[in-house]
Structure 1
Amino acid sequence: MSGMDVLFLFFVFSALQPVLRQKMLEAARQRMLQKIERERGSRVILLVHRQETMSFLGFPIMRYIDINDSEQVIRAIHLTDDDMPIDLVIHSPGGLALAALQIARAVCRHRGKVTAFVPHYAMSGGALIALAADEIVMDEHAVLGPVDPQMGEFPAASLVRVLEEKPAERIDDRTFILADVARKALSQMRQNVEDLLRHRYDPDTAGRIAEALSQGRWTHDYPITAGEAREMGLPVRTDMPQDIYRLMELFPQPLRREPSVFFSPVPYRGQDGMPGKAA
């Protein structure tokens, strides 16, 4: 074998390695997903959004909930028996309100029990989907986010407040139009959240939770902890199954740089489990 043959094989192997690694990762995900389904007797659906990186220029691109996601989740629900429980693992910064609402309504209408697992965060549209579940299981450090509408770069609630606090003659036409749309968006979102919650709560409680989450009480990126969610009245638990963490480990963040967090990926249990200590 000549040097050119070796070089050619090296380039072929280098080109195939990412494809083979991805196939192995997908197979491992499928095995773990099926293991959880067997143990829990449920359909497991993952809605996981990681930061992607362009292969050419290396610019980071954030992924969000979109129409393709709603189509796929709804199809998975359609393929599930009406009485079978569904476990929905959500790891998302949110996204398109229409898509998130479509998923949430499909989740709400499923007859079997739906459990939303939030191992790290479910913000905005991700939180809206979690609200539709019968139960939310969060890591003790995980967070949910408010679901108040955003009008481009501006919160809808802040635009409405401009009309309330600023003289009309000092407001330009564009702001008037945005504020009018914002008022409608706030009303619509509150009604949508109430509709999602009415299968579990009385109208007063559903209205109170919808008011808190959809009307701009907090900034849009405010982290709602499990404790705050429970105080609000949401059905939140923190006993996250270990297999959910193992499943999330199979969705690593694509990196094209040195990692900013580094540690030994083994569990330490007490002093005897520390490196250099006899077990």
Structure 2
Amino acid sequence: MDLFQLFWLLIFALSLWPILRQQRTERLRLKVMGQIQRARNSRIITLIHRQESWGLLGLLGRRFISIEDSEKVLRAIRTTPPDLPIDLILHTPGGLVLAAEQIAQALRRHPARVSVFVPHYAMSGGTLIALAADEIWMDDNAVLGPVDPQLGQWPAASIVRAVEQKDRNRVDDETLIMADMARKALAQVRDLVTDILGDHLPPERAAQVADYLTQGHWTHDYPLDCRRLQEWGLPVRCGLPAAIYALMDLYPQAPERRPSVQYVPLPQPAPAGWLRRQRDGEG
């Protein structure tokens, strides 16, 4: 083999390496998911959005809740036996309201118990999905967020307030149309969230919490931790099983040339301990 052939062989190997690494990671993910699934006697579904490298060139992709996501999640829910609980592991910045609503309503219709696990954050549409579960498990530092609708880059509530504060004759037609759409969006999302919260809260309290979440009382990225949600009366548990963190370790962010965060790992209890206790019925 001459130097030229060796050079092209090296290029081929370097191109193939990201694909092989990704396939190995996928196998490990399925293995851990299978362990959790057997331990909890449930159907494990993941909706995890991370910036990961993919393809021959290691290109980066950043994802949000999409129609494609809702199609896959709905298919997973539809093929789950009605008496089998569903555990959804959720890590997302949000996405399309339509897709999030489809997933939330499908989870509500599942006859068996539905649990959502939030290891880091589930904002916007992710929060809408979490609210549809029978119980929400959150890391002590994990957060949900408001679900107030956004029109383009602007919050719907802010568009309405801006128009209300100006002389109507000095507002252009396009802005008036946006304000009309914003009012409709606010009403639609408030009604949806009120309906979902009605599964957990009395009607008056459900309407009050829905107003907090949908009507622009905070910025769209305002963090709501597990204790705040518990105070509202939602079925939230602070703390996650170790196996959930083990699974999240298999969804790494794309590597950087210089890591922004580094630390020396300390010994941690193996997830198998929690899995064994689950099998023995100890919690």
Structure 1 residue 122 corresponds to structure 2 residue 128: no
Distance 1:166 1:127 in 2: 33
The residue aligned with 1:203 is 203
1:11 Cα deviation from its structure 2 partner:
2.9
- Structure 2 counterparts to residues 255-270 of structure 1, below 5 A: 255-267=255-267
Describe the superposition over 1:157-213 as per-residue Cα deviations: whole angstroms up to 9, x where unpaired.
111112322221222211111111000000000111112122232211211111111
The residue aligned with 1:142 is 142
Q: Give the fraction of aligned pairs with identical amino acids, expressed as a percent.
A: 52
Describe the SS at the equivalent of 1:265.
Answer: coil
Comparing 183-192 with 197-206, greater Cα deviation is found at: 197-206
Describe the SS at the equivalent of 2:115.
Answer: strand
Contact 1:58 1:256 in 2 (8 A): no
The residue aligned with 2:38 is 38
Describe the superposition over 1:204-226 as per-residue Cα deviations: whole angstroms up to 9, x where unpaired.
12111111111111100101111
Comparing 77-86 with 193-202, greater Cα deviation is found at: 193-202
Contact 1:52 1:63 in 2 (8 A): no
Contact 2:116 2:133 in 1 (8 A): yes
The residue aligned with 2:238 is 238
Change (3 A) 1:73 1:82: same
Distance 2:111 2:38 in 1: 20
The residue aligned with 1:274 is none
The residue aligned with 2:194 is 194
Structure 1 residue 78 corresponds to structure 2 residue 78: yes
Distance 1:97 1:180 in 2: 18
| C-alpha RMSD of the superposition | 2.1
Distance 1:45 1:268 in 2: 25
Distance 1:95 1:257 in 2: 29
1:229 Cα deviation from its structure 2 partner:
1.2
- Structure 2 counterparts to residues 17-166 of structure 1, below 5 A: 17-52=17-52, 61-166=61-166
Unaligned runs of 5+ in 1: 270-279
1:254 Cα deviation from its structure 2 partner:
1.4
Distance 2:48 2:193 in 1: 22
- What is the TM-score when the length of structure 2 is the normalising length? 0.89
Contact 1:100 1:129 in 2 (8 A): yes
Change (3 A) 1:58 1:152: farther
Describe the superposition over 1:97-151 as per-residue Cα deviations: whole angstroms up to 9, x where unpaired.
1001100110111111111100000000001000000111000000101000001
- What is the TM-score when the length of structure 1 is the normalising length? 0.90
Unaligned runs of 5+ in 2: 270-283
Distance 1:127 1:205 in 2: 18
